[in-house]
Amino acid sequence: MSITVLNPGLLTTVQDQGRIGYQQFGVSVSGVMDPRSAALANIIAGNDQGEAVLECTMMGPQLQFDQANVIAITGGDLGPTLDGKAIPGYTAVAVQAGQVLRFTAPKAGCRAFIAFAGGLDVPVVMGSRSTYMKAKIGGFQGRKLEKGDQIGFRAPVKSLSHMEDRHIPPEFSPRPVYVLRVVLGPQDDAFTSAGIDTFLSGTYTVTPEFDRMGCRLDGPAIAHKDGGDIISDGIAFGAIQVPSAGTPIIMLGDRQTTGGYTKIATVITADFRILAQLKAGDKVQFVKVPVEHAQNLLLAQRRALKALSKINA
């Protein structure tokens, strides 16, 4: 085997860009909470953007390498060290057999993504290597990592071309208040105009009820016209549900495919990289943008990723 888990950390799972095409059967998409950061880690490690990575939450794992490989860590700064020496994020790092990767403490953000050159050797289930914990599907035995788990590499390398150039500036920096841009809908007409104003002008606080399914916020209650229940319909990544109590819940990777609460707006895809790094106590404000603008931002991000993957190919 190639990695031995000495300590799994708080919540470490194998994730790729998600299980696409099975929502109609009730299968959650799962996938990394921050697709952009995971894609960047893969590009730096010489992989396809969509390769499976380890998603680490708050307290990262301790992993012993049993085989040499090249890794890259992106997303939040959880304080990575190799054999006790700090290693930089957003940088290709060659690791040797016997070395131990540890994370000391979260310094910025909440989630880090570790890419391994050549990818992890876990089975593809319904087109994806993502872990879907609720249904015990995919990833490493359908669950989060535990002490003693051993995971293989598919195609490890001792080094990559232009190792010294495989570095980009870290993207996430903490802020006193995070702005999440949203597209209003699908049920924005279920709220009073005062309710919409409350949503767009209020400051919300991330609560500890924050897992891979959703992120519950605390703050000014958003007024419905006639309650927060609807006949169940589909739920997008980033959908902001507002049940009758009036406080929002942002739906994330492991969300159920359908739900029966009004959704006031959806966080734009370009801002998932911020959303994924929020932690309890962080402050959030919402700003509405037209869908065309949201798509321009997303496509610009994708073009930049493509350009970068060509340089690092």
Pick from 236, 280, 305, 308: which binds another protein (CB under 8 A)?
236
Q: Is 60 left (phi over 0), alpha (psi -120 to 50) or beta?
A: beta
Residue closer to another protein, measured from CB, 20 or 105: 20
The answer to the question of residue 295 lying near another protein (CB under 8 A) is yes
The answer to the question of residue 133 lying near another protein (CB under 8 A) is no
Residue closer to another protein, measured from CB, 26 or 174: 26
The answer to the question of residue 26 lying near another protein (CB under 8 A) is yes
Pick from 25, 148, 164, 193: which binds another protein (CB under 8 A)?
25
Q: Would you give the DSSP letter of residue 107?
A: S
CB of 129 to another protein, least distance (A): 13
Pick from 37, 69, 131, 269: which binds another protein (CB under 8 A)?
269
Pick from 122, 250, 267, 278: which binds another protein (CB under 8 A)?
267
First to last CA, the chain: 27
Nearest by Cα to 35 from 20, 49, 21, 24? 49
Other beta carbons within 10 Å of 198: 17
- By CB under 8 A, the residues from 165 to 204 that bind another protein are 183-187
Q: Would you give the DSSP letter of residue 223?
A: P
Residues 6+ apart with CB under 8 A from 303: none
Residues 6+ apart with CB under 8 A from 231: 260
- Rounded Cα distance between 301 and 293, Å, is 13
Pick from 4, 6, 7, 23: which binds another protein (CB under 8 A)?
23
Q: Which stretch binds another protein (CB under 8 A): 47-55, 57-65, 163-171, 230-238?
A: 230-238
Pick from 1, 20, 177, 307: which binds another protein (CB under 8 A)?
20
Q: Which stretch binds another protein (CB under 8 A): 58-66, 101-109, 211-219, 227-235?
A: 227-235
CB of 267 to another protein, least distance (A): 7
Three-state SS for 303?
helix
The answer to the question of residue 301 lying near another protein (CB under 8 A) is no
CB of 227 to another protein, least distance (A): 14
| Contact characters 58-97, another protein, x per CB under 8 A | ----------------------------------------
Nearest by Cα to 83 from 64, 59, 55, 61? 64
- Rounded Cα distance between 86 and 80, Å, is 6
Pick from 126, 163, 213, 221: which binds another protein (CB under 8 A)?
126
Pick from 7, 81, 257, 285: which binds another protein (CB under 8 A)?
257
Cα 140 to Cα 17, 129, 221, distances in angstroms: 16, 8, 40
Q: 3-class secondary structure for 247-285?
A: CCEEECCCCCCEEEECEEEEECHHHHHHHCCCCCCCEEE
Q: Applying CB under 8 A, which residues contact another protein?
A: 20-27, 125-126, 134-137, 183-187, 231-234, 236-239, 256-258, 263, 266-269, 291-292, 294-295, 298-299, 302
